Amino acid sequence: MSNKIDRRDFLKKTSLGLAGAGILSRSKSSLDYRLTYKQEFNMSGYAAPKLDTVRIGMLGIGNRGAGGVRRLRRIEGVQITGLCDVETDRVENALADLEGYDQNPELYSGHPEAWKAMCDSDDVDLIYISTPWDQHAEQSVYAMESGKHVAVELPAAKTIEECWQLVETSEKTRKHCFMLANTCYDFFEMMVLNMARHGWFGEIVHGEGAYIHDLMQMNFSEDYYHDLWRLEENSTRNGMLYPPHAIGPMSKLMNINRGDQMDFLVSVSSNDFQMADRAKKLAEENEMWKPFVGRDFRGNMNTTTIRTHKGRTIMIQHDVTSPRPYSRIYLVSGTDGIARKWPGPARIAKDHTGWFSEEQMKELEEKYTPEITKRVGDMAREVGGHGGMDTIMDWRLVDCLRNGLPLDMSVYDAALWSAIAPLSEKSIANRSQSVDVPDFTGGAWETNEITMDLELRQGGTTRII
């Protein structure tokens, strides 16, 4: 195995080295590159050849990856042919979860680059990535160059440079790079999206989203995140670090990358009022926390505002330290109506006179619950994963690959939604000045068609078992 890894790594580094010269000369983070980029091939709406059986290599069997194994084993037409993690016990635990499901995966562990051998395998069609954030882009690029489709946890990249690498590699290889944006598949979000497509809200004017989730205990846990990777992120960067949860559903509502596009953003962060103090107190009793003492932790609350080319606005927030109930806000404001999910219960209104009654909400659900929810919603709730939305996401991905259909999210979504983080960092570092948002579609957003088929006019044939 080691010879195979070394040879493939040499070829990959040689290839990226040549490409790197072009990358540096074109300055991908610059405005010039944003305006002059030309697509090699449009991956939005691209339908790859059908896969009767989707052979999946699971890369990263930690918190998210283990859940992926348990969900995917229940989807018809899936063969989990590879399990990979640097920690051998996690691979063994995932293998135990597959007992009784007619799965016989190859195991890859014990070496930091064992994942490359799995990407090189002829027995894998899709690499499902659930590793720490800083590994996502490299692993996605390598997998696509190895001839594999990619499903990657969010964010898909940490830098603008990495976002462009994902786009260019997907276009060059014609392999999907699908970001696992599960919030796009939550039940209320899909119903509201269906309502918007039927004109219920009129013109969408403004949207709000968030990732407000108290992760203090997990971030300062000695073993929850491998090598404390998430605490490293929070102690070395200041910005909207985790935008896809909030921006994904808003982008779907506003047809971002498919009729509208982000133009510029402004980002502001509060000071850190908690994390540095926690690190200092813990370090007094345990030396493992001493490297984090004195670091400039990111602010408790980040608020980022985006304006689109068509004049819509989006406000998203990120706070993983304050003692607040979980919220993604999810507010949709249109010329004819409004919807809001948090704080619960989820509510809808037509005007200032008040929210709809429970009876009126039931009438809306009966009329606008989309076919995708009717088809697999109950089974998805049984399988689980954040109430079932993870299972719907996985099912939809597999069903599209098996039926040769375009995916709901393309590499342009993965790049754009991920790019908000480094762009917000740039804005904050410059006293919250506005920052232009790159157009990763090369202008194709003006004519790209909507791909998220809520009514399952095509496909929908795969079963959850």
Does any domain span residue 14? no
The DSSP secondary structure of 92-121, one letter per residue, reads HHHHHHTTTS----EEEESSTTHHHHHHH-
Does any domain span residue 439? yes
State how many domains the chain has: 1
Does any domain span residue 57? no
Q: 309: which residues sit within 8 A by CB, 6+ positions away?
A: 260, 261, 262, 263
Does any domain span residue 230? yes
Q: 92: which residues sit within 8 A by CB, 6+ positions away?
A: 107
Does any domain span residue 13? no
- Gap between the Cα atoms of 135 and 129, Å rounded: 9
Q: How many other CB atoms are found less than 10 A from the CB of residue 130? A: 22
Q: Which domain holds residue 325?
A: 184-370+411-446
- Gap between the Cα atoms of 303 and 314, Å rounded: 10
Residue 28 has what pLDDT?
58
Q: 239: which residues sit within 8 A by CB, 6+ positions away?
A: 267, 269, 298, 302, 304, 421, 422, 424, 425, 427, 428
Does any domain span residue 420? yes
Reduced DSSP (H G I as helix, E B as strand, rest coil) percent helix, strand, coil of the chain, to 5:
45, 15, 40
The DSSP secondary structure of 228-248, one letter per residue, reads GHHHHHHHH--S----HHHHH
Name the nearest CA neighbour of 247 among 183, 335, 191. 183
Can you give 333-370 as a three-state secondary structure string? EECCCEEECCCCCCEEECCCCCCCCHHHHHHHHHHHCC
Does any domain span residue 89? no
Does any domain span residue 441? yes
Can you give the pLDDT of all 465 residues of the chain as single tens digits? 333 333 334 334 333 433 333 333 345 555 455 556 889 999 999 999 999 999 999 999 988 999 999 999 999 999 999 999 999 999 999 999 999 999 999 999 988 899 999 999 999 999 999 999 999 999 999 999 999 999 999 999 999 999 999 999 999 999 999 999 999 999 999 999 999 999 999 999 999 999 999 999 999 999 999 999 999 999 999 999 999 999 999 999 999 999 999 999 999 999 999 999 999 999 999 999 999 999 999 999 999 999 999 999 999 999 999 999 999 999 999 999 999 999 999 999 999 999 999 999 999 999 999 999 999 999 999 999 999 999 999 999 999 999 999 999 999 999 999 999 999 999 999 999 999 999 999 999 999 999 999 999 999 999 999
Instruction: Give me the CATH number covering residue 253.
Output: 3.30.360.10
Name the nearest CA neighbour of 211 among 132, 260, 154, 271. 154
- Interaxial angle between packed helices 389-403 and 371-383, expressed in degrees from 0 to 180 and rounded to the nearest 10: 120
